Each structure stands twice: as C-alpha cells, then as structure tokens.
Copies of this chain bind each other. A is one copy, B any other.
C-alpha cells in the first residue's frame, strides 16, 4: 500500500541547504552515496566544497570535481572501480586545482567514530612508518600510557563533516530512513552535523516501531532532511533494488578523459536543467 509522501523538500531544495565551502561526506560506490544530491549540487553551481570519502571516493566525487564544485578532497582512495582511475580527480590534482589530503580507510572511520562518541580523538594501530602519517600534521603519535615499555601509537582527531549525503531505500513520516545492512551510514550520520538523504520511496508507517525494519533504520534524530529521488544512487547499486551500471560508468570514464569530453557528457546528463556557470 503506497500513499503520497509527506511534504518533503525536493532534491534541489535539499542541495540548496549546503553552502559553498561546506565539508560534505560521501560513502563509497558500494555503500549508497546519493548521486542525485551530487547532481543537484552541480546544478546549483556549488563551489569550494570540501569532500570527504568515507572511507574512499568514487563516481559522485569525480563528477563534483569535474564540475568545479570541489576545493579539497580528503579520502583513502578514489577510483571508478573496474572503469579505472577517476579522470577528473587526476586532472585536477595535476593542475593544482584541488587540495588532496590522503588518509587510510580505518583512519577515516576512526575520526568519525571519535566525533560520534564526542571525544576529541581516538587511537589507531598501524600507520607508523607510512608517508600518510608524515603528511598529516593533524595526527599525533603518543606513547601508549598502558604499555610497560615504549609503544608508539597514533591518535586521530575527531572529524565532524558539516553534511553527509546518502541514498536509502525508504523513509517514513517521522524522517526515519531504512538502508538495510549498510549501517555504516549510521556512524556517518551520527558524526555529521546534518545528514541529507534521498530515498526511493515513502514508507507509510514508523520504521522504528516494527522489529523487522528497526535494525536497518537510522533514527530521524540524525536526519536533517529527506527528498524523494527514484534511482537516486544510480549508476551505483542499491542493495537488492538495482545493480551497478557498469556500462554507464565506463562511458563516463571514456568521456571524462578530457575536460571538454566531461563538459559534453555533463550537458547531456543534466538535460534540460540549467547548467552551473
């Protein structure tokens, strides 16, 4: 039984809440990024965004970089998967148009967990001897106070993105959102000041009331806004709803080898919508 959704904002209205210069976190291509919101940011001509890959970056990030929306990227890796390196990222890095801060996957999770917990830092093993650490003056090495003898360990500062954007299966009237096993988005929502979410459909009930939907639900407490966006993760997969569109991404990768090719691809992609200046 489907009824009309409540008076949710449009995807464009949601994107308009994200000011230029904001730190925006995106999950990777296997964990429900909202490509719909990324495209809306491009349509509104966002500038100076500081993107965070949680913990790595993919299609939506390359798109935003190509469209000139991004000033900084913190991530543990960026690629288009089988379609290879992220072409607009690589070009922007070469041309000095974006600042890149390299991390390693568990470090990004850990910084978000520190923010989730409200502590100023968390430790993480590994990292010592890596040039990642050598290039992160914001990370510290201390001697483990619980060890008998010297035991250096890295402390990572808490990181609270201004916004995180993801795409879920459904949301209810309260603003609870359901995304099944992809519960890592919950930590991201907890750590972010505001989570903006697109969903496939409206759920007419309370997702937290039913024991069967509750465990895959993120409470509205953490959700700043929900918009309806059918196939809003596409070309990325959404659980068992739809698969990864490898052909679409491969076509993008070919087109985006040059800025001109990217611009043409984007003009077609954004269709009738006015393109960002």
Question: Which residues of A approach B to under 8 Å, CB–CB?
Answer: 110, 113, 117-125, 140, 142, 144-147, 151, 153, 155, 157, 180-181, 183, 208, 211-212, 214-216, 239-240
| Chain B residue with the shortest CB-CB distance to A140 | B145
Q: Which residues of B contact A155 (CB under 8 A)?
A: 145-146
User: Smallest Cβ distance from A221 to chain B, in angstroms?
Assistant: 14
- For this complex, 22 residue pairs linking A to B, each with C-beta atoms less than 8 Å apart, are A113-B113, A119-B153, A120-B123, A120-B146, A120-B151, A121-B123, A121-B144, A122-B122, A122-B123, A145-B155, A146-B157, A180-B211, A180-B212, A180-B214, A181-B208, A181-B211, A183-B215, A211-B239, A212-B216, A214-B216, A215-B215, A215-B216
Q: Are A122 and B120 in contact (CB under 8 A)?
A: no
Q: What 5 pairs between A and B have smallest CB-CB spacing?
A: A215-B216, A181-B214, A215-B215, A180-B211, A119-B123
Apart from A119-B153, A122-B122, list 5 A-B contacts with CB within 8 A: A118-B125, A120-B146, A140-B146, A146-B157, A181-B211
User: Smallest Cβ distance from A119 to chain B, in angstroms?
Assistant: 5
Q: Are A120 and B215 in contact (CB under 8 A)?
A: no
User: Smallest Cβ distance from A103 to chain B, in angstroms?
Assistant: 16
| Chain B residue with the shortest CB-CB distance to A123 | B119
Q: Which residues of B contact A142 (CB under 8 A)?
A: 145
Cα(A208)–Cα(B145), bound, Å: 40
Copies in the complex: 2
| Chain B residue with the shortest CB-CB distance to A178 | B215
Q: Which residues of B contact A140 (CB under 8 A)?
A: 145-146
Q: Which residues of B contact A110 (CB under 8 A)?
A: 117
Q: Are A181 and B215 in contact (CB under 8 A)?
A: yes
User: Smallest Cβ distance from A187 to chain B, in angstroms?
Assistant: 12
Q: Which residues of B contact A240 (CB under 8 A)?
A: 211
User: Smallest Cβ distance from A56 to chain B, in angstroms?
Assistant: 19
Cα(A142)–Cα(B142), bound, Å: 11
Q: Which residues of B contact A121 (CB under 8 A)?
A: 123, 144-146
| Chain B residue with the shortest CB-CB distance to A106 | B117
User: Smallest Cβ distance from A255 to chain B, in angstroms?
Assistant: 33
Q: Which residues of B contact A146 (CB under 8 A)?
A: 120-121, 140, 155, 157
Cα(A212)–Cα(B122), bound, Å: 33
| Chain B residue with the shortest CB-CB distance to A155 | B145
Q: Which residues of B contact A181 (CB under 8 A)?
A: 208, 211, 214-215
Cα(A83)–Cα(B123), bound, Å: 41
User: Smallest Cβ distance from A111 to chain B, in angstroms?
Assistant: 12
Q: Which residues of B contact A214 (CB under 8 A)?
A: 180-181, 216
User: Smallest Cβ distance from A191 to chain B, in angstroms?
Assistant: 14
